[in-house]
Amino acid sequence: MKLYYGATSPYVRKVVVAAIECGLYDRIERDETFPWDAKTPYGAVNPIGKVPALVTDEGQLLYDSPVIVEYLDSLHEGPKLIPRDGKERFETLRVSALADGMMDAVILLYNERVRRPKELHWEFWDNRMRNTVARSLDALNVDADTFDPERADVAQISAACGVGWIAFRKDVLGIDWRDGRPVLSDWFDTFSKRHSMLESTPQTS
């Protein structure tokens, strides 16, 4: 398999954590790309222009982290990251979608502050994204009461990668995600000690 990735993307980290948890990471070749480069040919790989994208051993192209994680989860016989059916499946997918939506908002906020010219900065948009992130963190603080950091699933992986990216970009974002969220904080501190999280920690860029 071949993974097109960005070194600091939380969505890529989500896939990497999932691959490690599924025991598949050693089977994946990595190809670093920077989608923001105007000259990148990556658009021919993924027309959406986002990372990650995965080429399977059969040559099938998959993109968007939820699809890639579900594919990886289908390749192993160990404990599944996504329950197969029932209420537990949809609850896991709901929390994962919540965390992904938070990641969407926080990346839009980051891009607003870093990539948009200051004279075009839109305070309304900034505040809207901050409110979305705050509401999402509050919801995850409630959901974290049901998390089991000793057993990884896609909900916890998504939440951990999203929260981890907020912490990683704190100097730019100025978001204290721990404030008023003790349950989420305690869970994150434990889950972050997993081998998959330690191996995928983003580096400053």
- The CATH number for 108's domain is 1.20.1050.10
Same-domain pairing of 172 and 104: yes
**C-alpha to C-alpha distance for 17 and 194, rounded to whole angstroms:** 10
Same-domain pairing of 119 and 189: yes
Q: How sure is the predictor about 35, in pLDDT bands with cuts at 50, 70 and 90?
A: confident
Same-domain pairing of 99 and 185: yes
81 within a domain of the structure (yes/no)? no
Same-domain pairing of 156 and 90: yes
Indicate the number of domains in the chain: 2
203 within a domain of the structure (yes/no)? no
- Tell me the whole-structure pTM to 2 decimals: 0.95
118 within a domain of the structure (yes/no)? yes
Same-domain pairing of 60 and 110: no
Which residue, of 22, 48, 73, is where some domain finishes? Answer: 73
Same-domain pairing of 7 and 47: yes
What are the tens digits of pLDDT across the range 108-157? Answer: 999 999 988 888 888 999 999 999 999 999 999 999 999 999 999 999 99
Q: How sure is the predictor about 183, in pLDDT bands with cuts at 50, 70 and 90?
A: very high
Same-domain pairing of 9 and 97: no
Range of 8's domain?
Answer: 2-73
